[in-house]
Amino acid sequence: MTRSGGVPRGVSDVVPGVVSGVVPGGRIPTEQANLDERLYGEQYAGGSDSVQYSWDLLRRAGATARELLVQAASEEWGVSGAECEARDGRVLHGPSGRSLGYGPLAVLTARGLSEEMPDAETLVATEPALKTPGEYRLIGRRTPSLDGAEVVTGRIRFGLDTRVEDMLVATVARCPVFGGRVQGFDAAAAEAVPGVRAVVEIDADAVEDFGPNNPKMANGVAVVAESTWAAMKGRDALRIDWDPGPGAAESTEGFWRECERLAGEPAQARIRDDGDFESAMTRAARRVEATYRVPYLAHTPMEPMNAVAHVTDGRCDVWAPCQNPGYVGTAAGKVTGLPPEAVHVHVVRSGGGFGRRFYADYAAEAVYLSRAVGAPVQVVWSREDDVRHGFYRPAGHHVLTAGLDPAGRPVAWRHFLANASRHAALGRGGDPREAGELDDFDFPAGLLPNLRFEYSQLDSVVPRGQWRAVEPSANVWVIQSFVDELAHAAGRDPLEYQLDLIGPPREVPFYSRTYSTGRLRRVFALAAEKAGWGRPRAPGAGVGIAGSYSNSSYVAHVVEVSAPADGRVRVERVVSAVDCGMVVNPSGAEAQVEGCIVYGLTAALYGEITIREGRAVQGNFDDYPALRIDEMPRVEVHFVESDLPPQGMGEPPLPSLLPAFTNALFDATGERVRELPVRGRGRA
């Protein structure tokens, strides 16, 4: 059973590697667990911690199983367990040459062959002997995806492929203005579409809140039909009067104006204040200041949001491709009024998530509609629904100020952020100290004596939420761009400047733990070495470097671009260095780096949701583009060899890719990118 929600890619491939790292050999099938947090604990997939979380648990599970199998074999043969070895799916008794497969041994174990044999709980409590890295057979080995054959033949079932007997299909017209509501509607034309069964208003305001961090669905009108196409046509035929509410006054221009105003006032909250920033600035030989802006970003996983629900008297089943089955269960309970034990959440495979499927709004719609029409209902979102009704990576206005000493080293640093935070949007309190998207431990916290982080928030109806490396995706871009600016201001090589700023190898406080500047230095140095940092560049070519520590992994990238004076910018090559502890499956880990590069480049080049009259302007891959295959750079991934426990890889490679790219653009063109995306601003 894999615990996390059904999104993390390669987690089901890591699990057998880790387990069989201790139970050697044999094929270990995995199965996605449905929601049962009493049994499994929290089941979300977020924060890149699936592997990290599971490492100890799975190794102990594997080791315990091995001891049980060896015990069973030794009992069967009447020999000492110490003379037996578990290997390649069998337990062997060397002296006699006897062996038994895990299958028959498992049967013996399950029958409780001997009363003297300890049960699993006792064995776990007695700390089974874990393998040492030298003994691993699958861990560290390149292992292809377990479900590849299902994927390439089209047999694999995603959420949208869920079929329940007598299931109807629904589409929902949601209020295009965030926070708006339905005033009235005319269903006649929709009802006239052949195959349309019902038109149902979704009055989300009348549904009890799902709780903090678990936002409700939008208000809207649903068309429930016998087929997807009929539901889509029916929705097009709806005539709805919307009450847009106060959100209609919001726009991207207004948002930036308000951020500017906040930047000109004393900050609402001081997140961190080390040393004496002000007096250090007065002593500084030189002052550098820059303003950066990051936009709202949608997730656009390839599979649009969808879910199936079947609500009957006293029972609710939900089939949801989700990252957070617990939230789906809570939402279904609130919508139906059913107790938790009557709600059954079936976790089905997701076609990507990236943080969008952390929320349960789309599943709540299916539950709402199934309850309303008394039949199983599949809710299908269009791509436009996905882009226009997301929970966006927060936009932000960052002002960075540094004071440099005569040698160009920073002696004072201030980072100010104004934005509408995701925490406030998700009902996690309005205190700007708590709500901020700037963290106490953002870089270069702990590395400089005089350092100040400040935050001011503004209100907005725009939904904000998780994203792939949500905060670092913005903050690391800003910070690592600014470090590059300082290096150039100081007339120093950016790599050398970075290493100088990071300082000697040591442990630096990071939340309740620490991080290692030595490991951070090493990934910078490794990426630079493998990329051939410092080589002369052709005219129009540029190289940039950036790195970060986030979600417990260390990553640095060197990006090479070409920016011909008359043509489009092209990313030619990315060299990545990663220290994520032990690499369980190199193929999967490299895939995560490649994925973060593509996701990060897409964001840097194209990603932007703009707001006009309280609604998202973009709608599909024509105006919210994604990187395509002909834009794919050459990628080289280098892992630092390590015996340390494995850490997450779904997010850590993303943040520093963006500044490595824009630093390379500066190197090529002399133009500093301080606003994303790159496209539409300058030559990209």
Partner 1 sequence: MQSFELTVNGRRHVVDVLPDTPLLWVLRDEIGLTGTKFGCGEGLCGSCTVLVDGEAIWSCVTPISEIGDAEVRTIEGLSSDGDHPVQRAWLAEDVPQCGYCQAGQIMAAAALLGREPDPTDREIDRAMRGNICRCGTYARIKRAVRRAAELAQEERA
Binding positions for partner 1, rule: CB under 8 A:
7, 9-10, 142, 144-145, 147-149, 151-158, 160-161, 163, 169, 194-195, 227-230, 232-233, 300-304, 349-352, 354, 380, 382-383, 587, 591, 594-599, 602, 620-622, 626-630, 632, 634-635
- The residue among 163 and 433 lying less far from partner 1, judged by its C-beta, is 163
Give the up-direction half-sphere exposure of residue 269: CA atoms within 13 A in the CB hemisphere: 19
Which residue lies nearer to partner 1 by CB, 566 or 630? 630
How far is residue 102 from each of residues 319, 601, 635, measured CA to CA in Å?
Answer: 34, 47, 41
Residues sharing a CB contact under 8 Å with residue 642, sequence separation 6 or more, in sequence order: 579, 580, 581, 582, 583
Residue closer to partner 1 (CB basis): 233 or 346? 233
Nearest 5 degrees, angle CA 297-CA 363-CA 228? 90
Closest CB 164 distance from partner 1, rounded Å: 13
Which of 304, 659 has the CB closer to partner 1? 304
Nearer to partner 1, 288 or 387 (CB): 387
Which two structure tokens, joined as six digits, stand for 208?
């009890």
The tokens describing 566, both together, are: 């008359």
Q: Which is nearer to partner 1, 258 or 386 (CB)?
A: 386
- The residue (of 50 and 419) whose beta carbon lies closer to partner 1 is 50
Closer to partner 1 by CB, 13 or 454: give it.
13
For residue 133, the minimal CB distance to partner 1 (Å) is 23
Tell me the closest approach of the beta carbon of residue 634 to partner 1, in angstroms: 8
Query: CB of residue 256 vs partner 1: minimum separation in angstroms?
Result: 28
Question: By C-alpha distance, which of 6, 76, 84 is closest to 45?
Answer: 6
CB closer to partner 1, 151 vs 407: 151
The residue (of 372 and 632) whose beta carbon lies closer to partner 1 is 632
Contact (Cβ atoms closer than 8 angstroms) between residue 262 and residue 202: no
Q: Which is nearer to partner 1, 113 or 626 (CB)?
A: 626
What are the strands, taking DSSP E only, across 187-247? Answer: 196-202, 220-225, 239-243
- Give min distance, CB of 155 to partner 1, in A: 7
Can you tell me whether residue 243 is helix, strand or coil? strand
CB of 508 to partner 1, least distance (A): 31
Residue 10: name the closest of 580, 584, 468 by CA: 584
Output the DSSP codes for 285-352. Answer: SEEEEEEEEE-BB----SS--EEEEEEETTEEEEEE--S-HHHHHHHHHHHH---GGGEEEEE-B-S-
User: Under DSSP, is residue 14 helix (H, G, I), strand (E, B) or coil?
Assistant: helix
Q: CB–CB of 507/425 below 8 Å?
A: no
Cβ atoms of 81 and 70 closer than 8 Å: yes
Q: Closest separation between CB of residue 349 and partner 1, Å?
A: 8
Kindly state the greatest CA–CA separation across the chain.
Answer: 83
Least spacing, CB of residue 556 vs partner 1, in Å: 19
Q: What is the DSSP pairing of strand 343-347 with strand 315-320?
A: parallel
Which residue type is seen at 115? E
The CB-of-677 to partner 1 minimum distance in angstroms stands at: 16
- The tokens of 559 are what? 């990006």
Distance of alpha carbon 54 from its chain centroid, rounded?
Answer: 17
Nearer to partner 1 by Cβ, of 451 and 597: the residue is: 597
Residue 511 near residue 487, CB atoms below 8 Å? no
Q: Would you call 163 exposed, middle or buried from its count of C-beta atoms within 10 A (0-12, 13-18, 19+)? A: exposed
Minimum gap (Å) between residue 597 Cβ and partner 1: 6
Smaller CB separation from partner 1, 163 or 612: 163
Which of residues 148 and 564 has its CB atom nearest to partner 1 in the complex? 148
- DSSP state for residue 395 in the 8-state scheme: P
The CA distances from residue 516 to 174, 527, 552, 579, in Å, are: 47, 17, 10, 11
CA dist 310 to 100, 172, 374, Å? Answer: 46, 17, 8
| Shortest distance in whole angstroms from residue 303 CB to partner 1 | 5
The Cα 586–Cα 10 span in angstroms is 11
DSSP 3-state assignment of 203? coil
Q: Shortest approach of partner 1 to residue 200 CB, angstroms?
A: 20
What's the min distance (Å) between Cβ of 295 and partner 1?
18
- By beta-carbon proximity to partner 1, the closer residue of 387 and 502 is 387
Q: Are 325 and 319 in contact (CB under 8 A)?
A: no
Please check whether residue 234 is in contact with residue 223, taking contact to mean a CB–CB distance below 8 angstroms. Answer: yes
CA 485 – CA 663 distance, rounded (Å) = 9
Does residue 527 contact residue 557 with C-beta atoms inside 8 Å? Answer: yes
Minimum Å gap between C-beta 283 and partner 1 is 47
DSSP state of 32: B
Select from 359, 8, 301, 316 the least CA-distant residue to 160. 301
- Shortest reach from residue 683's CB to partner 1, in Å: 21
Write down the H helix ranges in 375-502: 383-388, 422-425, 432-435, 470-489, 494-502
